[in-house]
Copies of this chain bind each other. A is one copy, B any other.
Amino acid sequence: MTVDEHSVGIVIPQTQYFDQPIELACGRSLKQYELVYETYGELNASCSNAILICHALSGHHHAAGYHDENDSKPGWWNSYIGPGKPIDTNHFFVVSVNNIGGCHGSTGPTSINPDTGKAWQRDFPPLRCRDWVETQRALMQALGINQWAAVIGGSLGGMQAMRWALEYPDELRHCIVIASAMKLTAQNIAFNEVARQAISSDINFYNGYYMDHGVAPKQGLRLARMVGHITYLSEDGMGQKFGRELNTGNFELGSDEEIEFKIESYLRYRGDKFSDSFDANTYILMTKALDYFDLAREYNDDPVAAFSNASCSFLVLSFTSDWRFSPQRSREIVDALVAANKPVSYAEIKADFGHDAFLIPNQRYQDVFHAYMKRVIEENT
């Protein structure tokens, strides 16, 4: 562990139990649920410095710091959350929550269904971004917060942040949308469909009831993640990182037991790791939520009308090499906000690592993000 002065240090996840039923967008409800979350920094006396972090497809509550002294890796957004970092924990009280439907402690497919006494598995209700907004809002109220200084998210997290701005306009002052989109393209839906098919065609999937059989569709989840990895990286980034380099020094054609290109072993390694730690039903549920998200659907497909309700300020960020959530998708958000006469800042960051760029240290990204967050602090003092 390298807990330096810019780390939030050791953090302990907390759990909030909710016994009020929640009506979900699909028409079903959860009688009760739990949210696992972490906080970094201190809530001020006026409760005006709280920030909500919304996670993406494979994310969770552990966004910054370390869980113990022996932790080899910090939280997933440690580069951007901490003392002196863009989301500066010297000034902000940061709340990072594992969404319902997830598999890192919050109520989801691996939790017990109180009606049956057995794990939900594939019977867990399908979710939409608005369901996450509702549960995040319940947590907000439990923490005594009336308004977020900012709601921040990348990718699927950015969709939640936008939904917050539409649903509860008075309860956030800033909405920060990174590498996101108002809806997925057909190509994005297609990649998600391949991921779901990879999982559901695994012999160990058992139509989603694999926990009943004491197994998990790891091969399918591994494949799904491999597809994700390729598409979340850029072609150039992958070329720079791996090129056509061979694992062995020469061309051993015929030895097809061997993994010959470095890119192959990298993908297998990442796929294996992910499939050991993630739940397949959660992966399906999250990709479906991505596919279904369509910001303006209930506004006659008019994003200007959708945003007209918003009363916060917006920061929109995109990355040049991101081809699954391309800068064009972010510019559509900005165009709609401008047309709706909302305050919006936009930056397109030159970055090599595709969609993953939103997680990776990058000087200009840090500078733009930090500058914006300083304004959020100044407004509040």
Chain A residues engaging chain B, CB cutoff 8 angstroms:
25-28, 125-126, 128, 183-187, 189-191, 193-194, 197-198, 201-203, 219-220, 222-223, 226-227, 229-230, 233, 235, 238-239, 241-244, 251, 253-254, 256, 260-261, 263-264, 267-268, 271, 284, 288, 291-292, 294, 297, 323
* Nearest residue, chain B, Cβ from A207: B257
Taking a contact as CB atoms under 8 Å apart, the answer to whether B185 and A126 are in contact is no
Q: Which residues of B contact A194 (CB under 8 A)?
A: 223, 226-227, 230, 267
Q: Which residues of B contact A28 (CB under 8 A)?
A: 254
In the complex, 13 of the A-B residue pairs with CB atoms within 8 angstroms, ordered by the A residue number, are A25-B253, A26-B254, A185-B239, A185-B244, A186-B242, A187-B235, A190-B267, A201-B219, A201-B220, A201-B222, A201-B223, A235-B323, A256-B284
Taking a contact as CB atoms under 8 Å apart, the answer to whether B223 and A197 are in contact is yes
Rounded to whole angstroms, the CA-CA distance of A316 and B263 in the bound complex is 29
What is the CB-to-nearest-CB distance from A210 to chain B, in angstroms, rounded to a whole number? 14
Taking a contact as CB atoms under 8 Å apart, the answer to whether A294 and B253 are in contact is no
Taking a contact as CB atoms under 8 Å apart, the answer to whether B26 and A186 are in contact is no
Rounded to whole angstroms, the CA-CA distance of A268 and B200 in the bound complex is 13
Taking a contact as CB atoms under 8 Å apart, the answer to whether A26 and B253 are in contact is yes
What is the CB-to-nearest-CB distance from A283 to chain B, in angstroms, rounded to a whole number? 13
Choice from B186, B189, B254 contacting A126 with Cβ under 8 Å: B254
Rounded to whole angstroms, the CA-CA distance of A125 and B256 in the bound complex is 10
Taking a contact as CB atoms under 8 Å apart, the answer to whether A253 and B203 are in contact is no
Could you list 5 further interchain pairs (A-B, Cβ under 8 angstroms) beyond the known A186-B242, A197-B222, A223-B223? Answer: A187-B230, A187-B235, A194-B230, A197-B226, A256-B288
Q: Which residues of B contact A198 (CB under 8 A)?
A: 198, 223
What is the CB-to-nearest-CB distance from A188 to chain B, in angstroms, rounded to a whole number? 9
Q: Which residues of B contact A227 (CB under 8 A)?
A: 194, 227
Query: Known: A203-B203, A223-B223, A254-B126. Is A238-B186 also a contact (CB below 8 A)?
Result: yes
Q: Which 9 A-B pairs have the closest CB atoms?
A: A201-B219, A203-B203, A187-B235, A26-B254, A186-B238, A186-B242, A193-B264, A190-B230, A186-B263
What is the CB-to-nearest-CB distance from A293 to chain B, in angstroms, rounded to a whole number? 11
What is the CB-to-nearest-CB distance from A299 to chain B, in angstroms, rounded to a whole number? 14
Choice from B183, B238, B241 contacting A244 with Cβ under 8 Å: B183
Q: Which residues of B contact A242 (CB under 8 A)?
A: 186
Taking a contact as CB atoms under 8 Å apart, the answer to whether B264 and A189 are in contact is yes
* Nearest residue, chain B, Cβ from A268: B197
Q: Which residues of B contact A267 (CB under 8 A)?
A: 190, 193-194, 197
What is the CB-to-nearest-CB distance from A251 to chain B, in angstroms, rounded to a whole number? 7
Rounded to whole angstroms, the CA-CA distance of A223 and B190 in the bound complex is 12
Taking a contact as CB atoms under 8 Å apart, the answer to whether A239 and B187 are in contact is yes
* Nearest residue, chain B, Cβ from A285: B256
Q: Which residues of B contact A190 (CB under 8 A)?
A: 226, 229-230, 238, 263-264, 267
Taking a contact as CB atoms under 8 Å apart, the answer to whether B253 and A186 are in contact is no
Q: Which residues of B contact A291 (CB under 8 A)?
A: 260-261
Taking a contact as CB atoms under 8 Å apart, the answer to whether A263 and B189 are in contact is yes
What is the CB-to-nearest-CB distance from A120 to chain B, in angstroms, rounded to a whole number? 14
Q: Which residues of B contact A294 (CB under 8 A)?
A: 244
Q: Which residues of B contact A223 (CB under 8 A)?
A: 194, 197-198, 201, 223
Q: Which residues of B contact A191 (CB under 8 A)?
A: 230
Taking a contact as CB atoms under 8 Å apart, the answer to whether A125 and B193 are in contact is no
Rounded to whole angstroms, the CA-CA distance of A25 and B297 in the bound complex is 57
Q: Which residues of B contact A230 (CB under 8 A)?
A: 187, 190-191, 194
* Nearest residue, chain B, Cβ from A251: B292
* Nearest residue, chain B, Cβ from A122: B256
* Nearest residue, chain B, Cβ from A292: B253
